[in-house]
Amino acid sequence: MGQIFQLGLIGNPVAHSQSPKIFQKFFDNENLPNWNYNLFQLSNIDELKPLLFNNPDIIGFNVTVPFKQTIIPFLHSISDAAKAMNAVNTVKVIRNNGDIFLEGHNTDYLGFLETTKVLPSKPQKAIILGNGGSANAVKAVLNNIGIPFVSVSRNPTANQISYGSLLDLTFNEPTLIVQTTPVGMSPKVNVSPIFPFQHLNENVMAIDLIYNPEETLFLKQFKNHGCFCLNGSLMLQKQAELAWTIFKNNEKK
Q: Does 253 reside within a domain?
A: no
Q: Distances from the Cα of 141 to the Cαs of 120, 148, 195, in angstroms?
A: 17, 11, 23
Catalytic residue among 68, 92, 139, 238: 68
What sign results for the dihedral spanned by CA atoms 247, 20, 68, 45?
negative
Q: What angle do CA 153, 193, 136 make, to 5 degrees?
A: 45
**23 closest CA partner among 42, 10, 12, 36:** 36
Query: Can you tell me the distance from the alpha carbon of 23 to that of 21, in angstroms, rounded to the nearest whole number?
Result: 6
116 and 227 together in one domain: yes
Query: Can you tell me the distance from the alpha carbon of 192 to that of 181, in angstroms, rounded to the nearest whole number?
Result: 10
Q: Distances from the Cα of 73 to the Cαs of 182, 241, 250, in angstroms?
A: 23, 26, 22
113 and 223 together in one domain: yes
53 and 124 together in one domain: no
Is 68 marked active-site?
A: yes
Name the residue range of residue 222's domain.
109-235
135 and 220 together in one domain: yes
Compute mean pLDDT per 10 residues along the chain, 253 residues long, and list them.
90 96 97 97 97 97 96 97 95 94 97 97 96 94 96 84 88 97 95 94 97 97 97 97 92 44
Q: What angle do CA 173, 174, 177 make, to 5 degrees?
A: 120
Q: So what's the pLDDT on residue 1?
A: 56
What's the total number of domains in the chain? 2
Q: So what's the pLDDT on residue 252?
A: 42
Q: So what's the pLDDT on residue 159?
A: 76
**251 closest CA partner among 22, 93, 102:** 93
* pTM assigned to the model: 0.93
Q: So what's the pLDDT on residue 49?
A: 96
Cβ proximity of 231 and 216 under 8 Å: yes
241 and 201 together in one domain: no
Q: Does 79 reside within a domain?
A: yes
Q: So what's the pLDDT on residue 217?
A: 98
119 and 135 together in one domain: yes
For residue 123, how many other CB atoms are within 10 A of its CB?
Answer: 23
